[in-house]
Amino acid sequence: MEFKEVVGRRRSIRYFQSWRQVEREKIQVMLEAARLASCAVNATFLKAVVVVRDQLDHDTLEALKTPVSGLNIELAPVHIYTYADMGAYVGAQGRLKKLVDVGALNATHGWSHKFVDDFVWPNILKPLADGATQASVAGAAASDAGIAICQAMLAAVDEGLGVCLSAFVHEPIAKIVNPPKDWLPLWVLLVGYPAESWEAGGQRPRPPMEEQFFEGKYGNGFKPDPKVTEQLKAAKMIQAPAPLPWRKDEIKALARMFGLPE
Distance CA 54, CA 257 (A): 20
- Region 34-49: mean pLDDT is 92
Could you tell me which residues come within 8 angstroms of residue 5 by beta carbon, excluding any fewer than 6 positions away? 235, 236, 237
Distance CA 19, CA 237 (A): 30
Tens digit of pLDDT for each residue in 121-171?
A: 898 888 777 765 566 677 788 899 999 999 999 999 999 999 999 999 999
End-to-end CA distance of the chain: 34
- Is 29 exposed, middle or buried, given 0-12, 13-18 or 19+ CB atoms closer than 10 A? middle
Distance CA 135, CA 141 (A): 10
* Signed CA dihedral, 166, 69, 200, 162: sign only: positive
For the chain, which residues make up each domain, given as ranges? 3-195
CATH code linked to domain 3-195 = 3.40.109.10
Distance CA 152, CA 150 (A): 5
User: Global pTM?
Assistant: 0.94
Residue 124: what pLDDT?
Answer: 82
- Region 189-196: mean pLDDT is 98
Give 215's Cβ-side CA count (13 Å radius).
6
Confidence band for 62, pLDDT divided at 50, 70 and 90: very high
Residue 174: what pLDDT?
Answer: 97
Residue 136: what pLDDT?
Answer: 66
3-class state of residue 220 by DSSP: coil
Q: Closest by alpha carbon to 196, among 262, 261, 259, 251?
A: 251
How many Å separate Cα 175 from the centre of its chain?
A: 23
